[in-house]
Amino acid sequence: MRRALLLALLTLCGCAAVTGLEVRPAFAATSPAGRPTMAPSGTAGDHGSTAGLPLASALVDIAATSTGRGYWLLAGDGGVFTFGDATYHGSTGDLALVSPARAMAATRSGQGYWFAAGDGGVFTFGDAGYHGSAAELALNKPVVGILPTETGGGYWLVASDGGVFTFGDAGFVGSLGGQAIPDPIVGLAPRPGGGYRLVDRVGRVYAFGASYLGGMQGACRGEVTDIASSPSGEGYWLLCSTGDVRARGDAPDLRPRLQLSAGQRAVGLATTPDGQGLWAMGSGVALAHVDETISGPHAFLAVSGGAPVRWSPCLPLSWALADDSPDGAEQLVGEAFDYLAGRTGLRFVFGGRMPAAAPMPVGTIRVGWTDLAPTQLGMATSRAHLTPWGPRMRSSDIALARDTGLALDYSTSGVGPVLLHELGHALGLDHVDDPSQLMYTARSGPTDFNAGDRAGLRQLSAFNGC
């Protein structure tokens, strides 16, 4: 993935400094949450999703009703969304949680639910009983799951280090607490009679009071994000961050078709009572925000006066598609710009299609598909100019490789991550040597901007002032 930056110092050629942007009329842009955040399969019905809703916080978990005709979705701020026959019993969406909500579980009656926050806090609504929490404990790692007992008279909490905490009539049958585990735990699932299984992010499964059916390391192209049990407890499904589902034991091979937008990952899995249906849930895309504490490796294409060269952040930018872009490109690229608007606070408007060889107007990012070298998936060429505020990006041209066989989506086998990488260059990011970052010099697995990438985007953003 190549990038180039051409810094044109206008004062050297006697030209006047460009002070405004030439922006094309705005067209209807794809919503950042335009794709459904829910995918049913088997006997699971489609009861709706948060597509099109302005989420203040991304979704983190799902719980199905006892009838299988509805579900609740939980957001990280404690907001609860109901669909089908799921009834609303309250949320913490209007409170400032000390730690984000991580996991949710429903009562057997369907008239209440619990959710757990990362600090071990437990919140109860409807007929869900409160039996204590881990909020007062000195946790080594955050809580990532909650599992109620069959009676509803207690629950287990599990932390990412494998520690298990029991409350009410939940019996302790083992944990990984105090052990050096290779990867963090991401969820737990029940077995009838009081046992449970824990799963880590690469697919290792740890059984306590349940038969060991084998792990599924390497089964996911991305990370494992959730686990759900079959009704008998002799099987389970694992959810991959890419939206794929893997089955083991007597769990039937069900494959929800979850299409993820830019910035989304699959995060929640729920089953129907008959065990013949599944819902896979995507995280959705939250509204614009900036994390002042995030850090990690990042680099910039150009630096002037100690600050990275960036776009004029308080003026709108236009994005355009090259005329010969494939069918479906407008949705794919529109989602990417909507996602970047949330990450950076920059304003992007769709300027329609333009010839691939046409001169680039000031303030425009053009995306197209063309023939590149066999080993090259994309490239970005950015230009900068002098303005009254100092050097600023002028325009950027992104070329994605044609006929690569990559799907028009944001999975690990899609062109979406390549597009996001090149858009990182278009905004001013350079390559880094860390393969865990999307801005690594070669395609290495990430499908989204990671900590270092986001730290760099923060400095290029409108959140950093004009």
pLDDT per residue as tens digits for the range 394-431:
999 999 999 888 888 887 788 999 999 999 999 999 99
* Per-residue model confidence (pLDDT) at position 7: 41
Are 215 and 203 in contact, with CB atoms under 8 Å apart?
yes
Q: Which domains does the chain have, with CATH numbers?
A: 2-30+291-464 (3.40.390.10), 38-282 (2.130.10.10)
* Per-residue model confidence (pLDDT) at position 225: 93
Helix (H) or strand (E) holding 394: strand 390-401
* Per-residue model confidence (pLDDT) at position 215: 83
* Per-residue model confidence (pLDDT) at position 220: 85
Asked which of 1-5, 154-158, 167-171 is least confident by mean pLDDT, the reply is 1-5
Adjacent-strand bridge partners of 83: 71
Q: Distances from the Cα of 173 to the Cαs of 166, 170, 196, 212, in angstroms? A: 10, 9, 8, 14
Q: What is the mean pLDDT of residues 41-55?
A: 89
* Per-residue model confidence (pLDDT) at position 22: 26
- 355, pLDDT greater than 70: yes
**Vertex 274: Cα angle to 269 and 279 (nearest 5):** 20
Q: What is the mean pLDDT of residues 129-137?
A: 95
- 33, pLDDT greater than 70: no
Are 223 and 200 in contact, with CB atoms under 8 Å apart?
no
* Per-residue model confidence (pLDDT) at position 291: 61
* Per-residue model confidence (pLDDT) at position 328: 84
Task: Output the average pLDDT for the chain.
Answer: 87
Strand ranges in 258-389 using DSSP code E only, listed in sequence order: 266-271, 277-282, 303-304, 307-308, 317-322, 348-354, 364-370, 378-387
Q: What is the mean pLDDT of residues 257-261?
A: 80
276 conformational bin, left if phi > 0, alpha if psi -120 to 50, beta if neither: alpha
Structure confidence by residue, pLDDT tens digits, 69-93? 999 999 999 999 999 999 999 999 8
* Per-residue model confidence (pLDDT) at position 421: 95
Q: Of residues 366 and 411, which shows the higher confidence score?
A: 366
Asked which of 153-157, 390-394, 423-427 is least confident by mean pLDDT, the reply is 390-394
Please choose, from the candidates 389, 361, 399, the residue with its C-alpha nearest in 3D space to the C-alpha of residue 465.
Answer: 389
- 288, pLDDT greater than 70: no
* Per-residue model confidence (pLDDT) at position 292: 63
Q: How large is the greatest C-alpha to C-alpha distance in the chain, in angstroms?
A: 81
- 162, pLDDT greater than 60: yes
Rg (CA), the chain: 24
Residue 37 confidence class, pLDDT cut points 50, 70, 90: confident
Q: Of residues 210 and 20, which shows the higher confidence score?
A: 210
Asked which of 162-171, 173-182, 261-270 is least confident by mean pLDDT, the reply is 261-270
Asked which of 10-19, 161-170, 171-180, 365-374 is least confident by mean pLDDT, the reply is 10-19
Contacts of 357 by beta carbon, 8 Å cutoff, 6+ apart: none
Residue 222 confidence class, pLDDT cut points 50, 70, 90: confident
- 32, pLDDT greater than 80: no
Other beta carbons within 10 angstroms of residue 304's beta carbon come to 15
* Per-residue model confidence (pLDDT) at position 462: 84
Contacts of 382 by beta carbon, 8 Å cutoff, 6+ apart: 3, 4, 5, 6, 301, 393, 395, 396, 397, 425, 426, 428
Q: What percent of the chain has pLDDT over 90?
A: 60
Q: Of residues 281 and 285, which shows the higher confidence score?
A: 281
- 28, pLDDT greater than 60: no
* Per-residue model confidence (pLDDT) at position 13: 20
Q: Distances from the Cα of 463 to the Cαs of 6, 426, 454, 460, in angstroms? A: 25, 18, 12, 8
* Per-residue model confidence (pLDDT) at position 290: 57
Q: Of residues 146 and 359, which shows the higher confidence score?
A: 146
Contacts of 267 by beta carbon, 8 Å cutoff, 6+ apart: 58, 59, 60, 61, 225, 226, 239, 241, 281, 282, 283
> Chain centroid to CA 91: how far?
22
* Per-residue model confidence (pLDDT) at position 257: 83
- 246, pLDDT greater than 90: yes
Q: Of residues 30 and 461, which shows the higher confidence score?
A: 461
Structure confidence by residue, pLDDT tens digits, 193-205? 889 999 998 999 9
